[in-house]
Chain A
């Protein structure tokens, strides 16, 4: 045996030898690879199918065996057709506007509240935090109707105010909680040093806490943007006018207006709507893991 091993070391140079090691590792974990492959195939099939069919003509879409996974020939007609159907750039602008209008005031007010919860001592803080945590678990649908009536009375339906005004009031208990967890983990020494230098709480918040919280704040940017990209209820209630519709609402009309023969343009527009979010999530992935492990859910 030893002889064979030595011989192999002479025959195979170092590179080849590690390749052999790698191969044996792969065999050792064959079960894991097989299961992962099966699960990834199932999970990714719809996504792949969307991309694949966006480039197919209607005749190519009829499923024949073997299945035409990669379209041949490729057509771009679906994209042109789908693009013409609506003013997608307007809907994109509305989506981004919604994201910004919600993001900036929410972040400002939630940072203030989270700082108070994390770094200040006041009577009832534990109880109020418990209230905040219970609000995290309350479905939007519980308060939807009275909120809408309130907005309608104020004449705000069909304006951007229902997005902006509630956002100024820290109406995102999950964000308050997550930021509070993160702020609490920042060492006290840093802010106390700043305090002794004569900084007040706002300066400490701005100069010490916020710069150290960039990962968790980036995560909130990703989360709110993807909310604006995905949410249907809010635009359905408040941004119904054609000039204010977000991408999701526009897609709803687009899907509804298309019959059975229009799958191509539908897949093409799905690809276009999905790509930016997929890219953003890829970028936000590390913030998610980072933010999650740092804030924890073990309380």
Chain B
């Protein structure tokens, strides 16, 4: 039997103390009970094999071929990868995505942490502030895209109007400038979002004793932040880092809705590059190679983070 409750008799739990009962149950259904977990997991197994494992292997194979769906795939070796490395457009998309990852992921983490710290101060009206802080994240992407198109628009936009009113010479057509447009997306991504909620949940779990002890030892609040709060938050930081890194490599809807990747690939990011190759140009081989590069990048990130996590993530109770 699975439960420790049944194997180790406990006082006060009548039926479990009867040794015959679990045995009879166990013997009678032994085979069925052993197969039952796999029956429960059958859909999951089929799903993993058909829609996860097979596609990964399939795109590995097709990344070495020319393939347009209509005609059978033709083997061309590593030429797809070479082409991609030489292709200007691809390099631009990769650089855009890397820039996005390097700037907006740490930025988002810091902002989310600061917001969570602010919303953890015990003040009146806290519940209302927390609710209000969540509101921007609840606007659907389509609505947000329309609003930000408006806000960044050259003539009627809020940004340019403010710059003009302040007498600053930086007004421009943000979303139609191939250089500026990626920065618009990067800046917009620097926000607390769901990471803020997760940090907030983490802050609730820091034991009050630690703060009390720090106070008794005469620690300043900045010392408490760096020596108590941040170390205790590291499991949540790891989680946020993982999800926001992977999320950053999947950024698709925003640019697709607002600029379609343009102008001149200025806001073309990696996911859209895969999409364009596969479904606009029907270069499935290219798309497969790009998918595989993305797969490898994500595996490397996850492995690196988990490998290094032992040295910077603090788990309560050892480990």
Contacts and interface: CB of A to CB of B under 8 A. Distances in A.
B139 A277 contact: yes
A271 B239 contact: no
Nearest to B285: A145
B43 A248 contact: no
A247 interface: yes
Pick from B15, B52, B56, B257 the residue with the most CB of A within 10 Å.
B52
Given A40-B129, A137-B298, A196-B15, A144 B274 contact: yes
A145 B143 contact: no
Interface stretch (B76-84, B177-185, B210-218, B287-295): B287-295
A229 B140 contact: yes
A270 B139 CA distance: 9
Interface in A194-243: 195-196, 201, 226, 229-233, 236-237
Contact of B133 (A40, A128, A148, A229): A40
B55 interface: yes
A166 B250 contact: no
B242 A271 contact: no
Contact of B59 (A142, A260, A281): A142
Contacts of A278: 135, 138-139
A94 interface: no
B75 interface: no
Contact of A142 (B38, B201, B256, B295): B295
B253 interface: yes
Contacts of A132: 44
Nearest to B254: A232
A298 interface: yes
B226 interface: no
B155 interface: yes
A59 to B, nearest CB: 11
Given A137-B246, A137-B298, A65 B165 contact: yes
A101 interface: no
Contact of A109 (B43, B146, B205): B43
Interface string A155-196: 000000000001011110000100000000000110010011
A266 B150 contact: yes
Interface string A282-299: 100100110011000110
Interface residues of A, number: 101
Contacts of A274: 138-140, 143
A267 B147 contact: yes
A141 B149 contact: no
Nearest to B36: A201
A145 B140 CA distance: 26
A92 interface: no
Interface string B161-204: 11001000000000000000000000000011000011001001
Given A141-B271, A255-B146, A109 B47 contact: yes
Given A113-B43, A121-B2, A247 B142 contact: yes
Given A192-B5, A285-B131, A49 B51 contact: no
B118 interface: yes
Nearest to B25: A195
- Most chain-A Cβ atoms within 10 A of its Cβ — which of B3, B140, B256, B295? B140
Given A145-B274, A152-B69, A260-B155, A36 B119 contact: yes
A277 B138 contact: yes
A145 B288 contact: yes
7 contacts: A50-B150, A140-B250, A149-B69, A188-B5, A274-B140, A277-B138, A285-B134
Interface of B: 2-6, 13, 15-16, 21, 25, 34, 36-38, 40-41, 43-44, 46-48, 50-52, 54-56, 58-59, 62, 69, 114-115, 118-119, 121, 123-124, 129, 131-151, 153, 155-156, 158, 161-162, 165, 191-192, 197-198, 201, 204-205, 235-236, 239, 242, 246, 249-250, 252-253, 256-258, 260, 270-271, 274-275, 278-279, 284, 287-288, 291-292, 294-295, 298, 302, 315-316
Interface of A: 22, 25-26, 29, 32-33, 35-36, 39-40, 43-47, 49-50, 53, 61-63, 65, 109-110, 112-113, 115-117, 119-122, 125, 128, 131-132, 134-135, 137-150, 152, 166, 168-171, 176, 188-189, 192, 195-196, 201, 226, 229-233, 236-237, 247-248, 251-252, 255-256, 260, 263, 266-267, 269-271, 273-274, 277-278, 280-282, 285, 288-289, 292-293, 297-298
